[in-house]
Amino acid sequence: MSFAAEVLAVLTGQTCGDSCWHAREAICRCSCGGANHGCLKVEGKDQPIRTSKINGRMRQLHAVGEYPDLMKQAEEMNRANGPYRIDPVTYHDGTKGEYKYWYHETDPGAPAFLKCASKDQIARWPELAAWINILPYQMKPYMIWKLV
């Protein structure tokens, strides 16, 4: 039997993930509104982009890797977005200028937010499969979550 039924969707703040993609419930209760419900039950379909609500804001998984590489990438993404605040300043010699405030990769409102993967995420997510057998002293994977 193919999965080609109408999907009843109840839009909530829950992020779209594995239980929706495999249609573990008859009613879709996540943020996709039914668009991704049961998509992985259809052969040949790709996994949708993973989403997460971090600090009250919806984000998409952008990259997975080790901290040094991703920190630099997140910094570049945040810089490309421009400063979040610019203050006028007067220097000691009387000249005027500006002080720019830039997002850092761990700031709650940052366009690119860097977060360490949990043990549960490493065990279940295909995106983190390369780190399943890491030893306690090895570097854990990090993820860049970008604002949607």
* pLDDT reported for residue 7: 44
pLDDT at 22 over 50: yes
The DSSP-derived string for 31-43 is TTTTSSTTGGGST
Segment 125-137 mean pLDDT? 91
Mean residue pLDDT across the chain = 84
Coil, helix or strand at residue 99: strand
Which of 31-40, 72-81, 82-91 is least confident? 31-40
Mark whether 63 and 30 lie in a shared domain. Answer: no
Q: How far apart are CA 113 and CA 42, in angstroms?
A: 32
Segment 34-55 mean pLDDT? 75
Contact of 32 with 59, CB cutoff 8 Å: no
Range of the domain at 18: 1-47
* pLDDT reported for residue 2: 43
17 compared with 52, residue with greater pLDDT: 52
Compute φ and ψ for 59, nearest 5 degrees.
Answer: -135, 160
Coil, helix or strand at residue 84: coil
How many domains are there within the chain?
A: 2
| Secondary structure letter of residue 45 according to DSSP | P
Q: Please measure the distance between the N-terminal and C-terminal CA atoms of the chain and give it in whole angstroms.
A: 35
Mark whether 43 and 90 lie in a shared domain. Answer: no
Mark whether 28 and 63 lie in a shared domain. Answer: no
Share of the chain above pLDDT 90, in %: 56
Mark whether 63 and 1 lie in a shared domain. Answer: no
Segment 92-121 mean pLDDT? 95
* pLDDT reported for residue 47: 74
> Looking at 1-148, which runs of residues are DSSP E strands?
8-9, 27-28, 51-54, 57-65, 85-90, 96-101, 112-116, 142-147
Mark whether 26 and 71 lie in a shared domain. Answer: no
What pTM was estimated for this model as a whole? 0.75
Nearest 5°: the CA angle 67, 122, 59 is: 65
Residue among 5, 4, 32 nearest 20 (CA): 32
Contact of 45 with 2, CB cutoff 8 Å: no
Mark whether 30 and 53 lie in a shared domain. Answer: no
Mark whether 1 and 54 lie in a shared domain. Answer: no
Mark whether 41 and 65 lie in a shared domain. Answer: no
